[in-house]
C-alpha cells in the first residue's frame, strides 16, 4: 500500500532527556489524529531508540526508526549497529544511504545495496535515500545520476522485497546552499524516479511505492509539496527537532 509518510530524522541532535521531551510533545499532539493511510516515523540517535519507542508505542500509526545500520550481522566492527540488533529492539524502520552518510562516510551504492538487503532480511523497512549535488544538477545529469543510485543499490531486489521499501529523494543542492527546489522540480524528480521504478519492477509495484521528499521541507511549503501527485510525504531534518513544526508538517495532509 502506498502510505503517506512523514519521517523525522533527528540526526546527531538532542540529549536523551531532550529527545524524550520532544517525543512526548509530538506524541501528545498527534494522538488519535493520524488516519490509517498515513504514518509518522521518528528516527532519533541510537542511544534514544528504546526510550522514544516506549513513548510513542501507545500512539496509533507512529513508528520508530534508526538512522543507519551495518551490512554485516555481527563481528569486530567497533561502533557499528547491526540489523539483527535493531530487530531485537523492536525497531520498525531504518534510514539507509542518507546524503550525509554518502558524503561524510563515503558509503557506496554497492555497500548501500547490501545494507538494504540486510535490513529487509531482519524485518526492517528501509528508507532508501537518493539525490544529487549542486554540480550534478547544474550539469544536467541529475536524472541519470539518481537512476544510477537506484540501479546499483536496489534494482537487484526481487519484486517482493522492493515492495517493502520506501524511497526518499534528497536534492542535496537545495539543502543549506541558499538555493531552493521548486515544487515543480520536486514533482519532476519524483515522477522520474517512479518511472524508472516502473521499468524495473512494473507499474503496480512502482505505483504502490512511497517516495518521500527530503529537501528542507517545513510548515510553510509542506502542503504544496504533499499535493504533488508523486510526492508521498517527507523525510524531515531540522523541522523535526521542533514539535510544533513537525506536527504542522504531519497535519499538512
Chain segment 131-152, per-residue pLDDT in tens? 999 999 999 999 999 999 999 9
Q: Which of 111, 122, 170, 190 is catalytic?
A: 170
For residue 81, give the C-alpha cell: 549497529
Q: What pLDDT does 19 receive? A: 98
Residues 19-78: tens digit of each pLDDT: 999 999 999 999 888 999 999 999 999 999 999 999 999 999 999 999 999 999 999 999
Orientation angle between helical segments 16-30 and 49-56, nearest 10 degrees: 20
Q: Establish whether 170 is a catalytic residue.
A: yes
Q: Report which DSSP code applies to 14.
A: -
| 178 pLDDT above the threshold of 70 | no
Q: Where are the domains of the chain?
A: 4-250
Q: What is the DSSP string of 87-128?
A: HHTT--EEEES-HHHHHHH---HHHHHHHHHHHHHTT-EEEE
Q: Report which DSSP code applies to 39.
A: E
- Listed in sequence order, the residues at least 6 apart from 199 whose beta carbon sits closer than 8 Å to its beta carbon are none
The CATH code belonging to domain 4-250 is 3.20.20.70
Residues 204-249: tens digit of each pLDDT: 999 999 999 998 899 999 999 999 999 999 999 999 999 999 999 9
Q: Establish whether 160 is a catalytic residue.
A: no
Q: Which of 48, 98, 122, 142 is catalytic?
A: 98
Amino acid at each position: 500500500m502506498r502510505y503517506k509518510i512523514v519521517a523525522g530524522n533527528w540526526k546527531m541532535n538532542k540529549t536523551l532527556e531532550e529527545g524524550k521531551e520532544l517525543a512526548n510533545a509530538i506524541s501528545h499532539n498527534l494522538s488519535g489524529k493520524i488516519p490509517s493511510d498515513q504514518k509518522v516515523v521518528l528516527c532519533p540517535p541510537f542511544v534514544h531508540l528504546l526510550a522514544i519507542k516506549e513513548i510513542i508505542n501507545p500512539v496509533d500509526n507512529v513508528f520508530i526508526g534508526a538512522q543507519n545500520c551495518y551490512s554485516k550481522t555481527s563481528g569486530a566492527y567497533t561502533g557499528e549497529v547491526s540489523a539483527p540488533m535493531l530487530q531485537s529492539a523492536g525497531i520498525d524502520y531504518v534510514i539507509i544511504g542518507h546524503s550525509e552518510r554518502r558524503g561524510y562516510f563515503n558509503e557506496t551504492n554497492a555497500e548501500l545495496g547490501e545494507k538494504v538487503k540486510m535490513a529487509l532480511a531482519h524485518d526492517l523497512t528501509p528508507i532508501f535515500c537518493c539525490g544529487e549535488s549542486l554540480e550534478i544538477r547544474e550539469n544536467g545529469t541529475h536524472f541519470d545520476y539518481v537512476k544510477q543510485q537506484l540501479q546499483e543499490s536496489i534494482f537487484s531486489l526481487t519484486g517482493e522485497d522492493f515492495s517493502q521499501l520506501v524511497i526518499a529523494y534528497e536534492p542535496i543542492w537545495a539543502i543549506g546552499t541558499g538555493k531552493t527546489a521548486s515544487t515543480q522540480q520536486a514533482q519532476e524528480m519524483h515522477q522520474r524516479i517512479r518511472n524508472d521504478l516502473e521499468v524495473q519492477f512494473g507499474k503496480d509495484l512502482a505505483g504502490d511505492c512511497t517516495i518521500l521528499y527530503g529537501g528542507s521541507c517545513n510548515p510553510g511549503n509542506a502542503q504544496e509539496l504533499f499535493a504533488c501527485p508523486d510526492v508521498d510525504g517527507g523525510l524531515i531534518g531540522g523541522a523535526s527537532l521542533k514539535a510544533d513544526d513537525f506536527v504542522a508538517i504531519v497535519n499538512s495532509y
